[in-house]
A and B are shown apart, each in its own frame.
Chain A
């Protein structure tokens, strides 16, 4: 995960409390999604950014997970997301993030 984004996530968790922050990922690659999810739960696995050794345990979801989709306006979903739904392996993405969340997350929705 980009170092600046790691800092933004860390700042938000500190400012609002880890229980009041949800991370929603839009990554198109399952491996990348898994690494992002690991970063905001267990800490930066590359030990390069502000979340190195910082296990925030945030509830992290991929946008294609049902829990997030249920929150979306169907019309906006159609306008903004449906094309990508056709293109990406949504199950693999959801699974990659869910695995990290279940293993390292401290709270879920």
Chain B
């Protein structure tokens, strides 16, 4: 069975404490219920600053400024052991500051939804231009700005939502329709923020892969936002909207949704299209979720901890046909959680980790690293949600004991050797295993890793249509050239080698 090569990855964070404070769902709901609450008063003081975000080791591991091994070696808590100097750019992407991100939302706006004040618009244009990252046609999309009085009028009388920078009004997000709640300023702000973060990730993907935007064939978008109006809420194709702004004029796209398992599902769909030859290449991309900003901040504030959840996460992975060099996504051993599998952790772990390996005659110990939900534990532990990746490793190891592949005494070692520290922001779909693919790609190229398993899990009950659990998994593997091709099939490389060998023999015969 042919597979698809993992060619390049990008991972970015957008530092957005003002968006988080005003429109993250936890503070937003609190403001509706108790505008004068102690939590809201304390939250801005607890916020992680941009400099701190750029010195925080898990963030640096996410953007590829440090390796996962380096993160593991850093003293914990990472919160109390910030890196000596802030780092904005990593090998996979960047940590974008909030003023530039508000500008990027404007750059991504094609319906005059984002208005910036004149001063702020000029400032962000200078800032984005100075980065030397954005193309001229993209920068030309930035507006000149509006008078503050116009923005105040939109907010006061037309249900626009103010956008802030440094505690002051920097602009607003306007509604897309007078009565359609699906096109309210709130929904559109979430959607355009997701779009902008995806564009950022896609642009970094082009840079990392050394490809021109025009060379991209297809985008599969896999965030958790619903794009559409009252007649088709969730109608979608955020993918194409992203490709348009990124300058991928020869690409088309579609969206995949599966809650937090969306990225794993999108990569399987993308890899299948590439392996089948239906698409020349595919970028699977996901943007960040504004509602999830400061999701657990109530617990962080209560415990006197920094409120870390003020970064939107985004990522993109480029898949191409197998080339004999790049690691592949194996399509002969995909993990799926069936309707009848059951919702217990045991049933889910069996379906996603055990069954795909059993299909190949492999053991749980044949996988070098597992990448399940990679939530940063310094965010989840204070909120009572535990250390999510560690819990997953223990479950996989315990399953190994039940299947008699491991001794009970080996559980701790299994977790240590085959586990990873959680380093992804708690943005729902973002931690779903995929953030490790960039690190795995690098390690496989160096020969340090052979096989990893990416696992995404979704909580379908949140949509109130089913109580079923869900998940998807796949193996990413460094394969010797040609091994992934159909057994016995003759590849172009085989023909080339045979012709060269015959010509060599002929030359040798003639010279004798």
Contact = CB atoms under 8 A, between A and B. Distances in A.
Given A46-B298, A82-B402, A32 B384 contact: yes
Interface of B is mostly: helix
A87 B344 contact: no
Contacts of B402: 82-83, 86
B346 A79 contact: yes
Contacts, number: 48
Nearest to A29: B386
Interface in A54-94: 79-84, 86-87
B342 interface: yes
A87 B395 contact: yes
A83 B345 contact: yes
Contacts of A31: 384
Contact of B398 (A29, A79, A80, A83): A83
A28 interface: yes
Interface string B388-413: 00010011011101100000100100
B386 A80 contact: no
Contacts of B394: 86-87
Interface string B207-242: 000000000000000000000000000000000000
A87 B385 contact: no
Contacts of B346: 79-84
Range of interface residues on chain B? 20 to 34
Contacts of A79: 342, 344, 346-347
A35 interface: yes
Contacts of B385: 29, 32
B349 interface: yes
Given A46-B298, A79-B346, A84 B395 contact: yes
Interface in A19-57: 28-29, 31-32, 35, 46, 48
6 contacts: A48-B33, A79-B344, A80-B344, A83-B349, A83-B398, A86-B402
| 9 shortest interchain CB distances as A-B pairs | A32-B384, A86-B398, A80-B344, A83-B346, A87-B394, A29-B386, A83-B398, A31-B384, A87-B398
